[in-house]
Structure formats: C-alpha cells, structure tokens
Chain A
Amino acid sequence: MNGFVSRGFSRRRQTPEELADRLPPGQYAEAGFPVLTAGPTPDVGTDAWSFRVDGMVGEERAWSWEEFHQLPFETVPCDIHCVTKWSKLGTSFGGVSVDTLLDQAEPLGAYAMAFSYGGYTANLPIEDLTDGKAWVVTEHEGEPLPREHGGPARLLVPHLYFWKSAKWVAGLRVMDHDEPGFWESNGYHNYGDPWKEQRYWTD
C-alpha cells in the first residue's frame, strides 16, 4: 500500500518535536491515562496481596506487601505505549526492579509468565525482565497506584506494549519454554515491540 494518501487529510495533532521522536509508529501522545481491561476490575487489598516467583527456579520466593516494601525502591521515569494507539510520554512509576526479585529465586528457564489476581496472564522472555528493563510498581507519579491501573501492584515493562505490564500482578512463573498469555492467545503479538509495531499475530 505504499504511496496511498488519504484525500484531504493533514496533521491535526501537534506533538512537540522533542517528544515526536519518542512516539513509536502509529502512536499518538495522550496526556491522560486511559483504562483498558478485558473484565471487571479486581479488588485486591494489600493485606491479601503477595508477589511470588515460582516455576523453574532454584528457590520459590514470595513477598508479602510488607516484605516487598523492605526491598530497594526505585523511581522509574518512562514512556508507555498502549497497543490501542495512545502513548503516555514522560510519566513515572515507583517500585522494585524485577532483577531484585528474580535474583533471590534464581530463574532456571528463559521465559516467564506474569500472572495476576483475576486470572490475567502475559508472557515475556526473561531477558526482557532483567538488566533494569522491568519493575513491579506500586506507585504512579508519586501516588499509590490506583486500582483501575492495576493497584496495588502491576508489572512495568515500558519497552514493550503496555498489555505486557500486567495489572494486579501476583507473580512470575519461570518456564523453560514460551507460551502465549491472555492477549497473546487472543490475536495480539507474542512479543509486542512498539518500535516494530508488533500489534497483532501477523505483524
């Protein structure tokens, strides 16, 4: 379809130049923080919340809300990109690096399935979760993460489309093979690199 031009179309939305470079193809900058969820919003209290690393690991580990907050806490400035075309540039989250969590469990496989309260799942290669690329976050822009955005805690993997950043995250299951998660089984790309516009299966 090279060369197709939409009759009478011109740019309406002005994105400042310094931000334009941070927008992957097909995305537009959105000031708000839209909510997209495939089902009702789970209500997970911090008393009941825990985060576990299990599956193919040297040692299964689990942290209660209190134990989790003893771990080194980082503020993560980032851009996020939703597959439904909006990007939120220059936002920030606060939480614990996945490196810290995985180090204590010794992963033995190359893949992981993030699993959530409410049953949601998302698959990721371990290498996309390590070396400072992923966090389990409990704050957004300095405030407790709102429930509709995955509070009390969600995964944050800003370099992939945001469905990989599982809301209401309950843990990571380490596996020796890759398996599609929820959206990956329902038409969305298995890996989801926004810069390659890997939105759907055939991308």
Chain B
Amino acid sequence: MDRLASQAPLTPVEQRAPGRWQVGTVTSIKQETPRVKSFRIQLPMWMPHLPGQHYDVRLTAPDGYRAERSYSVASSPLDEGEIELTIDLLADGEVSPYFHEVVVQGDQVEVRGPFASYFVWRGEAPVLLVGGGSGVVPLMAMLRHRRRTMPELEMRLVYSIRSAEDVIYADELGDDAVLTFTREPPDGWTGHTGRIDGSLIADADPDFGVAFICGSNGFVESASELMMQAGVAPERIRTERFGPTG
C-alpha cells in the first residue's frame, strides 16, 4: 500500500472507445450540391473507423430537448483525428436542417462512433459499389480508402443520380466510377442514362466478389434484384437502406 501511495497520481485519460459521446469541432464545410454539404469534424477521442461505419450525432437544445441521427462517415480512416460526415438536407427533418442552416466552421457538435460492422469494407476484392443519391456516402469512404491504400485493387462505383447538379464528390469521381443520370444528364453526356439496369452493372464489373449497395429502399431493392437475376448469391450482396434520417 505504501509503495502505491508514494507514486504520483495517475492522470485520468478519456477512454478511446466507440460509443462515448464527445464534442467535436467543425473544421471545414463543403457545399457538395444544392442539397448536400460535407462537414469535417475534428474529434478529441478519434479512433480509426472501417469504411462504411457510421457515427451518431446528438443535438441538445437549451431546454434539454434532444434529437439524434446516424450519418455514415465519408472519409478514409487515414485522415487521422477527424471524420467527414456528408449530410443530405431533408426539408422536414430536424438534424439535417440544423447542419445546413446553422452550423458554421468552428462550431462544436456532439457525436459518438464509429458503429456497426456489417456494411463495411475490410479489403475484399473485387468490389462493386452501387450508390443511389446520397447513398454514395459510405461507398465514398471505401473508394477513398482504397485509393490511398491499394489503388490497384479492383473497386468500381456505379452511381445513380437525378441530374448533374446532384453529383456528390463530383471532382473526385474518376475512371473507377460509372454514372447514370435518371432525369437530366449534363449537356453533351454520352454515358448512361435512366435507372440502373443489368448492362450498367455488367459494364462496371461483371465479376465482382462482393457488392455494397446503398440508397433508398426502392433503389436497393431494384439493384439487388438485378444482381440476383444475374445469378449473384444473396450472401455476396450487402445493403444499407436509408431510414428517414432528417
């Protein structure tokens, strides 16, 4: 006992565990599309996530009222100390309008994560990513991480969006992305238009090992249906469907 008592008191260290609420600082905001913004958030208890994982965000009003939502991480876990959350504005929502209309650089936001380990990329290859609208967000974490760690590894993104102005991460989409515009393609567009179909998936990668599909329920249903019709076993198809995340 004496020996222990003579030691200097231990400095309490906050545990770096998923699940603990922490107050992060918004270091930058990027307007991706008229309805979508990306927020870089610096975290005091950052830990690396798996591409595809999400964080929970909690807003607290002065009267104690709280609203919580989950958002996928868009950044690679190599971005040490921070995460990027890309948030789609839902008009009748509660959390996304706050991020879009109130949050400015330097603001503090309460978050916890990273969570869930099924819709995550652990280095499987070849991989086909299929995203509809803001369903591209967790897929972008996979694509970004692959580019920085294993650029030669086969990973293709099929990305369905309504019109040119709705393309999130437009400046980052290269040869590894195949786009289709369901409403208004950009002027002079010679690529795919209309909803996702079998030829689009075949063009992107007919021999993928694992597919990650993310988007609205209708989008995920039709994309996974197409794959199964093409003979893909359901075990090779991982899906994430939006709940209402306003």
Q: Which chain A residues have a beta carbon within 8 Å of chain B's beta carbons?
A: 1, 4-13, 25-28, 30, 32, 34-42, 82, 84-86, 118-119, 148, 182-183, 186-188, 199-203
Q: Can you add 19 more A-B contacts, CB < 8 Å, to A1-B23, A30-B243, A40-B225?
A: A6-B60, A6-B61, A7-B102, A9-B61, A11-B67, A28-B94, A38-B118, A38-B240, A40-B221, A40-B234, A40-B239, A84-B70, A85-B68, A85-B69, A85-B243, A182-B118, A187-B115, A187-B117, A203-B19
A26 & B58 in contact (Cβ 8 Å cutoff): yes
Instruction: List the B side residues contacting A9 at CB < 8 Å.
Output: 59-61, 67, 98, 102
B237 at the interface (CB under 8 A from A): yes
For chain B, the count of residues having a C-beta within 8 Å of the partner chain is 51
Give 30 A-B contacts (CB < 8 Å), ordered by A residue. Answer: A1-B21, A4-B23, A4-B110, A5-B62, A6-B59, A6-B98, A6-B109, A8-B98, A9-B102, A11-B61, A11-B63, A12-B97, A13-B94, A26-B58, A30-B244, A34-B243, A37-B241, A39-B239, A40-B221, A40-B224, A41-B224, A84-B243, A86-B243, A86-B244, A148-B217, A183-B118, A187-B116, A200-B18, A201-B19, A202-B20
B87 → chain A closest CB, angstroms: 14
| In the A-B complex, the 9 residue pairs with the closest CB atoms | A202-B19, A40-B224, A26-B68, A35-B217, A34-B243, A186-B118, A6-B59, A84-B243, A8-B102
Distance, CA A184 to CA B243, complexed state (A):
20
B204 → chain A closest CB, angstroms: 18
B119 & A38 in contact (Cβ 8 Å cutoff): yes
A4 → chain B closest CB, angstroms: 5
B94 & A12 in contact (Cβ 8 Å cutoff): yes
Instruction: List the B side residues contacting A37 at CB < 8 Å.
Output: 239, 241
A40 & B228 in contact (Cβ 8 Å cutoff): yes
A7 & B17 in contact (Cβ 8 Å cutoff): no
Instruction: List the B side residues contacting A203 at CB < 8 Å.
Output: 19
- Per-residue interface assignment for chain B, residues 214 to 246, with 1 indicating a CB less than 8 Å from any chain A CB and 0 otherwise: 000100010011011000001101111111110
B232 → chain A closest CB, angstroms: 9
Distance, CA A26 to CA B59, complexed state (A):
10
Distance, CA A200 to CA B65, complexed state (A):
22
B237 → chain A closest CB, angstroms: 5
B27 at the interface (CB under 8 A from A): no
Distance, CA A96 to CA B112, complexed state (A):
39
Distance, CA A183 to CA B221, complexed state (A):
20
Chain A residue nearest in CB terms to B216: A35
Instruction: List the A side residues contacting B59 at CB < 8 Å.
Output: 6, 9
Distance, CA A48 to CA B72, complexed state (A):
38
Distance, CA A5 to CA B61, complexed state (A):
6
B22 at the interface (CB under 8 A from A): yes
B108 at the interface (CB under 8 A from A): yes
Instruction: List the A side residues contacting B224 at CB < 8 Å.
Output: 39-41
Distance, CA A92 to CA B102, complexed state (A):
38
Instruction: List the B side residues contacting A8 at CB < 8 Å.
Output: 98, 102
Distance, CA A202 to CA B16, complexed state (A):
12
| Selected contact of A202 from candidates B18, B23, B98, B116, CB within 8 Å | B18
Instruction: List the A side residues contacting B225 at CB < 8 Å.
Output: 40
B3 at the interface (CB under 8 A from A): no
Distance, CA A183 to CA B117, complexed state (A):
9
